[in-house]
Amino acid sequence: MKIARAMQRPGQTKEQTKLIANGIQKGIDHYKKQQKAKLREMDKRKKKERSPTDDDSLSQDAPILSSDQGKGNKLPWVLLLLSWLLFAVYLLFSQQ
């Protein structure tokens, strides 16, 4: 309610302020639910990684995750190299 009052516009009724406060509260509740779900998923993944299993599907998922992370790590370096190359080309043509 404090946030809704702080954002209150001139001429806004109390009912409108209450509706805004309810919307803010619903948004906060929804965010908390999402965070709890993410934490549960992370805990499940950690438990699966810790427990030794003979399931083939788990062993197939692990290399895929590591290869995706490898691609993600290369992208910033490629972009950095590309930007420096373009900068060098710019300097060469601007001096002529």
Reported as a single tens digit per residue, the pLDDT across 20-44 is 888 889 999 999 999 999 999 999 9
Task: Give pLDDT, residue 68.
Answer: 54
Residue 11 lies in a domain: yes
Give the pLDDT of residue 87: 92
Q: What is the pTM of this model?
A: 0.41
Q: Which residues contact 17 (CB under 8 A, 6 or more apart)?
A: 1, 4, 5, 8
Q: Is residue 16 part of a domain?
A: yes
For 40, the domain range is 1-51
Residue 31 located in a structural domain: yes
Residue 64 has pLDDT above 70, yes or no: no
Whether 15 shows a pLDDT value over 90: the answer reads no
